[in-house]
Structure 1
């Protein structure tokens, strides 16, 4: 059987959240370190909080899924790109944010698995890059923000 990009990218999306990564911890390994209170903190001046990162990653998984469905929106508004953290830093709200992140990535991975192979070489509607480039970007986005989360944990732990 020939290599298929859809299942490959879907696996990479899932691994970025829950799997063993070659470069460091997956998101599921990082997030349990943070309580709701810690997730809201900004221990590094000028950096986003872990909670902000979780909401931002969720937003982009959703945006990419919408683009797969033909949505031609441009760059999202600031409150869509970086949704606000709830005013109440409850454990329940934090748990919902984390659950929503993992669900958004799983939904996207399942959607990617169902795409026809020729779709990956096509330009995304309203953009100047291909579907494969966009989806690789989501994987890279998770790795980037996972690294930030690891640094935030170190800053909180010192």
Structure 2
């Protein structure tokens, strides 16, 4: 299996496949109503909507890096503000995340195999996730998605128990 095939498989599995640890990202998000998405339980730093916007921002940044742009914080910010809650906004956030990942998966599938181990252009900065190879960049995004999907699952559970 090529690196492109492996990374495509791994990202698809986390997003909408059958990961061994539990529900994939899209299943978790499809089970969240907009009231739950914007609720921030006592003691929580972020709502589910905040987390999805953060995931969306970093997926966009990874896609930009894969397309040769200079690494930076996401153009919309690390933790974009969601503004006033609405059902339409929530659906847009989830749909935007799905569409962006369709684009990213296309780039991953078509990425030149010899270039996966090439470093992205910037020096190592762990906070920005820079100075890594393209393969490490995509693996990092996959890990990022797993981490935040666990937060979504826990917040959903906390909100349901509190309801």
Same fold at TM > 0.5: yes
| Structure 1 or 2: more helix by fraction | 1
Deviation at 1:76, TM superposition (A): 4.1
Shift in alpha-carbon separation, 1:66–1:90, aligned structure 2, 3 A: same
Which of 101, 105, 120 is the matching residue for 1:105?
Answer: 101
Which of 5, 11, 14 is the matching residue for 2:9?
Answer: 11
- Structure ranking higher on relative contact order (CA contacts 8 Å, 6+ apart): 1
1: CA distance, partners of 2:43 / 2:72: 30
Q: For structure 2, which runs of at least 5 residues remain unmatched after alignment?
A: 123-129
Which of 71, 82, 86 is the matching residue for 1:85?
Answer: 82
1:50-61 equivalent positions in 2, closer than 5 A = 50-61=48-59
Give the corresponding residue for 2:134: 131
Deviation at 1:44, TM superposition (A): 4.9
Deviation at 1:139, TM superposition (A): 0.6
Q: For structure 1, which runs of at least 5 residues remain unmatched after alignment?
A: none
2: CA distance, partners of 1:99 / 1:81: 19
Q: Could you list the structure 1 runs, at least 4 aligned residues long, displaced by more than 6 angstroms after superposition.
A: none
2: CA distance, partners of 1:62 / 1:107: 10
Q: Number of aligned pairs? A: 154
- More off after superposition, 148-157 vs 44-53: 44-53
